[in-house]
Amino acid sequence: MKIQNALSKFAALLVAGSLSFGAFAAEDAHGVKRATEEALKASQDALEQAKAGQTDAAIASSKLYRQKAKEITGAAAGISLQKAMGSAKGAATDLEAGNNAAAIEKLTDVVTRMTDINANTK
């Protein structure tokens, strides 16, 4: 009973801690630019890791990309960003299934879109 109580408290602390580190939308132009650059970097990392066969790292970078992309607001948060986020999610699914070729294709699309979004974000 004591172990169960301790585990419950520990789980509650983990949930509370994870909620406090959630994604926050960028509130100004500088914040949007920074979020865009961080998302681009994470997508590039995911692509390079997938090409190198580092599946777990590529999945983690893809998830980081999606977290950073959620912070992008304003004009930069258009249909291209939505498509990139969908491709990143699909790439993570492909990586988990062991289909690196499909994941690399999707991550290439993500990097291309994010490069364009970053270039057009002031």
Neighbouring C-beta atoms of residue 77, cutoff 10 Å: 20
Work out the mean pLDDT of the chain and round it to a whole number: 84
Whole-number pLDDT of residue 108: 97
Whole-number pLDDT of residue 11: 47
The full set of domains in the chain, from first to last, is 26-119 (1.20.120.660)
Q: State what percent of residues in the chain have pLDDT above 70.
A: 78
Residue in the block written with tokens 């930069």: 76
Q: pTM here?
A: 0.76
Find out whether 88 and 62 touch, Cβ atoms under 8 Å. yes
- Average pLDDT of the residues in 107-112: 97
Query: Which range has the worst mean pLDDT, 13-22, 24-33, 38-47, 71-80?
Result: 13-22
Whole-number pLDDT of residue 80: 93
Residue in the block written with tokens 């580092």: 54
The pair of structure tokens assigned to 62 is 């893809």
Residue 111 phi/psi, 5-degree rounding, is -65, -40
Find out whether 84 and 118 touch, Cβ atoms under 8 Å. no
The pair of structure tokens assigned to 50 is 């997938």
- Average pLDDT of the residues in 47-62: 96
Whole-number pLDDT of residue 15: 47
